[in-house]
């Protein structure tokens, strides 16, 4: 079976500053893959490389086709991208912003069906009440939910999401992750999502890629990776891992200094 996304021996540097090297993993349809690691470990850069925004060394393929062989329109037909930082400078309405998610499929000829799909996506993430407000009138968390709605309206088999819960309160974090899990299950979508909250990743992701200092420290199901040793070596903390719930739950105890 062809992998939805396959990454092989990927490396990237900004000028002479290396970000990561030797990254390899693959994920199939209907799976949620989390990318985790401390600040500066290369999560955002990796997602941009997968999406063709940045050009790395190594290979990225989508359903067997190399990203280098695809133009941005081709990529947008199969990959929806939610960036980490959403500028508030746009004066476009929320509805028009979400409707732009339909553009890869329809060009500039908007149908009633596209309006319906855009509105349904807004309802799903709870931004329909802002439909005719300007994007620049919303808070950072509200703008983030608008961009998630745009990605949902795009109806692609692959979604790349760069820390989509970072500006959200706990309730909306869980709501977004529930939506991500449902889209993966119901649409058989492959979702790759960078996350800081390991407990969210543990609960909602099928696999986690853990990165640190430009290297892959592990890839696999949360139950095999989220342990005391990984927390100490990658995150520099001592933690208790509770296995009383369905998924591993991390309870941080204290920071660990180099002398420890």
Summarize pLDDT for 179-207 with one digit per residue, the tens: 999 989 988 999 999 999 999 999 999 99
**C-alpha to C-alpha distance for 176 and 38, rounded to whole angstroms:** 22
Residue 233 lies in a domain: no
- Tokens at residue 149, please? 């709605």
Q: Give 1's pLDDT tier (boundaries 50, 70, 90).
A: low
Q: Is 215 helix (H, G, I), strand (E, B) or coil?
A: strand
Say if 249 falls within a structural domain: no
Give the domain range for residue 79. 5-85+154-226
**Residue 188, both tokens:** 């058989």
Of 154, 159, 189, the closest CA to residue 77 belongs to 154
The answer to whether 233 and 61 have CB atoms below 8 angstroms apart is: no
Tell me which residue has tokens 């499929």: 105
**pLDDT, the chain, mean:** 91
Residue 133 is assigned to a structural domain of this protein:
no
DSSP character at residue 133: S
Q: Does 113 map to a domain?
A: no
Q: Per-residue pLDDT for 88 more than 90?
A: no
Residue 211 or residue 259, greater confidence: 211
Q: Which of 132, 102, 133 is nearest to 117 (CA)?
A: 102
In a domain, 45, yes or no: yes
pTM for the whole structure: 0.92
Rounded Cα–Cα distance for residues 44 and 67 (Å): 17
Per-residue pLDDT at 260: 53
Secondary structure E strands in 189-257: 190-194, 207-212, 215-220, 237-242, 249-255
Domain contains 66: yes
pLDDT tens-place string over residues 234-243: 999 999 999 8
Q: How many domains does the chain have?
A: 1
Query: Percent of the chain beyond pLDDT 90?
Result: 71
Q: CA-to-CA distance for 183 and 33, rounded, in angstroms?
A: 13
CATH code for position 29: 3.40.50.300
Does 23 reside within a domain?
A: yes
Residue 237, in any domain of the structure:
no
Closest CA to 197 of 86, 45, 34, 31: 34
């Amino acid at each position: 079976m062809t992998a939805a996304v396959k990454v092989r021996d990927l490396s990237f540097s900004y000028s002479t500053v290396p970000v990561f090297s030797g990254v390899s993993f693959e994920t199939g349809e209907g799976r949620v893959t989390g990318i985790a690691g401390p600040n500066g470990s290369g999560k955002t850069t990796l997602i941009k490389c997968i999406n063709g925004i940045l050009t790395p060394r190594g290979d990225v393929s989508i359903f067997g086709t190399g990203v280098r062989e695809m133009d941005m329109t081709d990529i947008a037909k199969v990959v929806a991208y939610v960036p980490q930082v959403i500028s508030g400078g746009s004066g476009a309405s929320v509805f028009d912003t979400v409707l732009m998610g339909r553009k890869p499929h329809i060009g500039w000829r908007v149908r009633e069906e596209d309006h319906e799909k855009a509105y349904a996506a807004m309802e799903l993430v709870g931004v329909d009440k802002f439909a005719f407000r300007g994007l620049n009138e919303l808070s950072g968390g509200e703008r983030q939910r608008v961009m998630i709605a745009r990605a949902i309206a795009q109806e692609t088999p692959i979604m790349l999401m760069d820390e989509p819960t970072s500006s959200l309160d706990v309730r909306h974090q869980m709501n977004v992750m529930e939506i991500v899990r449902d889209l993966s299950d119901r649409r058989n979508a492959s979702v790759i999502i960078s996350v800081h909250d390991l407990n969210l990743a543990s609960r909602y992701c099928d696999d986690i890629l853990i990165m640190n200092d430009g290297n892959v420290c592990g890839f696999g199901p949360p139950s095999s990776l989220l342990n005391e040793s990984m927390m100490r070596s990658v995150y520099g903390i001592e933690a208790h891992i509770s296995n009383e719930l369905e998924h591993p739950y991390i309870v941080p105890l204290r920071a660990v200094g180099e002398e420890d």
